Amino acid sequence: MSLVSLTPNRRAVLAFVAGMAVAGGGAYAVTSTTPKLSACVDNRTKVMYLTDKTRCPVGRTLVSWNVSGPAGPAGAAGADGVTRDNSGNLSIKDIAKKVLPTVVSIAVTSSTGNGTGSGSVIQSDSAKSFIVTNNHVIDDAVSGGKVTVEFQDGTELTATIRGRDIAYDLAVLQIAKGNLPTIKIGDSSKTVIGDLSVAIGSPLGLSGTVTSGIISALNRPVLAGSNDRASYIDALQTDAAVNPGNSGGPLVNGQGEMIGVNSAIAALGSSSSSSGNIGLGFAIPINQAMRVVNEIIETGKSTRPLLGVNFDPSYNGNGKILGLVRDGAAQKAGIPVNSIIKSIDGFLIKSDIDAVVRIRSYPPNSIVSITVELPGGELKTFSVTLGSASANQ
C-alpha cells in the first residue's frame, strides 16, 4: 500500500498502515539449601542480588528472609494453559492464538493500482461474513477491480465491498462464507495511556504478523489523505512498530479485544527510506468505528455528524468560523460568523483540524457544548445539536 507520511513540518500527511513493536521481559529464580537467604537491593534500580555476605556495598541495602518451614498450599491451576501477568493481561502468545483466526490479509487488483492490507472478521452467520478494514485499502477496487481475502490457513476468497466511509477511512467487505470465528469487540473508551496493545496483520505482505507495544496517547487529532480523500481520526496512539500492509488490521488490548482499526503512521520524511515505523502509529477507536461499520452492514451506507460551519483556512490558530451553513447546527444554536472555537465538550481546540476531528468523534444528532470567542472578544458557551449527513458526500 502506498504511504503518505506525517512530517514534522506538515500536519496533514500520514501514512496508512499499522503494527506494533515487541516488548519482552524475563524472570529469574534462585534456589538454596540454607534456611536463610540474603540479598543486596540496588537503591536506584531496585534490582536484587543474592549474597552470602552480612554487608552490602555502598548504594545497596541488605535484606534477609527465612526459607525454612513447611511448604504452603499449591496455587490455583491455570485455565486452559492461559498465562496472565500481574495486570490481568493475557500473554502475547495467548492473545495471538485468540485473535489470529479472525484476521485476514487483503489484496486488491485493479486497473488503477494494486494494494494490500489487513482486516478483521466482525460478523458471521451460516451463509456470509463481514470484514472491517480501511477505505484506503480497497479504494482502488471501488470503480472496478478484485478484492481477495486470505485466511490464516491459506484459503482465499473473493470479497465484495458492502460499503465504505471516506471521512472515517473505514470499509466493510462481505464474503460468501459463514460460521467463521469473529474478533471480540472491546470498549475503546476504557483505554488508558500505558495499556498493553497488540496489532496483528500483514505488514509488507507478511501475513499473520503479531507485534506489541503500549497505548502512548489518546484523542490524537489525525488528518490523513488528500483533499478529496481526507480522513479525520480521533486516534489512539501507539508506540507499536507500524509498517505498510497492517492497514485495516486490529489493534487489540491485553484481553485480545479489538479496541481500534490500525490506520496511519507518522514518518520523518517523504522518501521511501523513512516511511516505516518510528514508534508513532494511529488507530481509529473501535467505539467510533463500530457505529459506522454497523450502519454499513445494515444499510450499505453510513452517516456523519455536521456542525454546519466553514472555517477560515488563512487563520493561524483555533478554528475560526468564516461562514455558516443555512439552518445548520451552528446557526440554529446562535453561533455567529467570525467566532473562534476554543473548546468542544472541554477539549481544547487549537486548529480547524482539531475541531473537525472532535466533531467527527460524535454520532449524528449528539448534543455538544461548544465554547467560542465571539467577534467582540468575550467567551460564550453554546449547546449545539449536531446535524446528520450521508457519508461520501
Catalytic residue ranges: 136, 169, 247
**Are the CB atoms for 223 and 353 separated by under 8 Å?**
yes
Give residue 264's Cα distance to chain centre.
9
**Are the CB atoms for 235 and 229 separated by under 8 Å?**
no
The Cα 247–Cα 230 span in angstroms is: 16
Closest CA to 102 of 183, 41, 39, 32: 183
Strand partners, 196: 214
The Cα 154–Cα 164 span in angstroms is: 26
By 3-state DSSP, what share of the chain in percent is helix, strand and coil, each rounded to 5?
A: 15, 40, 45
Cell numbers at 288, concatenated: 467510533
The Cα 383–Cα 15 span in angstroms is: 36
Give, rounded to a whole angstrom, the gap between the first and last alpha carbons of the chain.
25
